[in-house]
A and B are shown apart, each in its own frame.
Chain A
């Protein structure tokens, strides 16, 4: 069916261990070359950490999967060198419209605020993201992706995880000091280790049709969501534009729908035609029927095995929180594992991955569950309230925020993290927040603040003129000033300091994943040192209260 994209086929890799019969030893093995496994491999490589990535398949994501990539994800890919490419190919959108029956209930703007490099969302097919991640991983020379390597058994030992791997030419065993299980929602590793994956199934089915619409037909670049439209009574429909002239249409079908029957073109084409109208020529690109679940592992870190992405948590797609959440897992885990492997942090730092990403997963599950319950009311009362909200939304602005057609992915604020140094500044990016972006001028050139933050080291962002500071090893200073000053970024709009919420002369300690670790009224090296130790999970020297 597809005409706009041909999946690359990567050659199978048969490592030497198949012939030698001896176990292979690796520091880091990642299982799953999906969105999350590849992001993790690339991020680790940016820290100089090599990894081997095993995938049972020989290609990137197939068919209709993620399309909405959120601002924070783009910022993470910006840090990893892929952000601009995604932005250029992707469809940028920020307006959503909600319809009820045959009228528009209301429209919303996702990012009303200016002064960020990346928009609230772009739409881009998951396979492009993965294909570019594969290229980027290969270019590092540190990531070895082994296609058609299927993990068929695993043993999680105290000192290493042992994997049994099948290739087209025979099996081998791999001993990995760290096993990163990114093997998706049906994770073999999770099952093999007997870890319960609990949550709820939504008794509903959705038809996902990706269609190519004739270029001559104009639709605005917006997210359109219908409750109970005339062309699909009693159910919901979502329309989204993708690159290559492809449109994603999700039809809610109800639990009783027969998935095989619903996938037949004779069934799908009339549904799409009823929606688009008689004068819109289209061709089917992909068709699939899904039911959705929300569930997670009780913990993501299990000794030498760490889960990330869909293997750790699964959400319904309303809100685009699956892939976006998984990419944030990778962002969170990579620098911590790198710090542990380099001996800069104790292995216990990895426990903070649980402490930070479990609440984030719960937030995603909560929002996606609530959205699913709003879209598919479970009881007559729920339905009455849902419809009442929609009835009122047309006339009364107060009811519009009650309409839940998916609360679109926002970055998690790791507010309760043990790595944060609490402070008492009113407002701004509190410890645990991802750093807000801001426009700056770098020696007269227009630039973005986030491009200068994070990466392989901590950043002491100082809102004041450049000067000598004694900072702990692994912390680099970045000066941002209110006036054009050599050696500093010029915060010409004042947005940078305002968004961080620190006074003039203040400072912010940022982690390699660009999250705020601590804020200070002035860049006192001792306070920065203490916050840095704390953010690395090291026993910190007694804390003087910051700010």
Chain B
């Protein structure tokens, strides 16, 4: 199963706000660790190594020059 990049989240604004709020009051290091924990939790949920590899590749490729 390839990485699903179709729109899947019903209310992106709400989820985006939730993500930003989760970082409230954290300094840069703590914020980075929160993201890291989040990534690990989600990676484990996904589980499929091929999907994870593709996600990492696409994330790297998608930075704006």
A interface residue numbers (CB < 8 A to B): 380-381, 384-385, 387-389, 391-392, 396, 398-399, 402
Contact = CB atoms under 8 A, between A and B. Distances in A.
Contact of B40 (A380, A381, A385): A385
Interface string B17-60: 00000000000010011011101110010000000000000000
B10 to A, nearest CB: 27
Contacts of A389: 40
A384 B31 CA distance: 9
Contacts of A381: 32
Interface in B3-17: none
B32 A380 contact: yes
B37 A391 contact: yes
Contacts of B44: 398-399
Contact of B35 (A384, A391, A396, A402): A384
Interface residues of B, number: 10
Contacts of A392: 37, 40-41
A242 to B, nearest CB: 35
B7 to A, nearest CB: 28
A272 to B, nearest CB: 30
A399 B39 CA distance: 12
Contacts of B36: 384-385, 387-388
Contacts of B41: 392, 396
A391 B32 contact: no
- Judged by DSSP, the binding face of B is helix
A182 B37 CA distance: 45
A398 B33 CA distance: 18
B40 A388 contact: yes
8 contacts: A380-B29, A384-B36, A385-B39, A385-B40, A388-B37, A392-B37, A398-B44, A399-B40
B63 to A, nearest CB: 14
B11 to A, nearest CB: 27
A387 B40 contact: no
A396 B36 CA distance: 15
A207 to B, nearest CB: 27
Nearest to B31: A384
Nearest to B38: A388
A517 to B, nearest CB: 32
Q: Which 8 A-B pairs have the closest CB atoms?
A: A388-B36, A384-B36, A388-B37, A384-B32, A398-B44, A385-B36, A384-B33, A388-B33
A96 to B, nearest CB: 21
Nearest to A393: B40
Contacts of A398: 44
Contacts of A384: 29, 32-33, 35-36
Contacts of A387: 33, 36
A398 B44 CA distance: 7
Of B35, B37, B44, the most chain A CB neighbours within 10 A belong to: B37
Contacts of A402: 40
Nearest to B41: A392
A429 B39 CA distance: 37
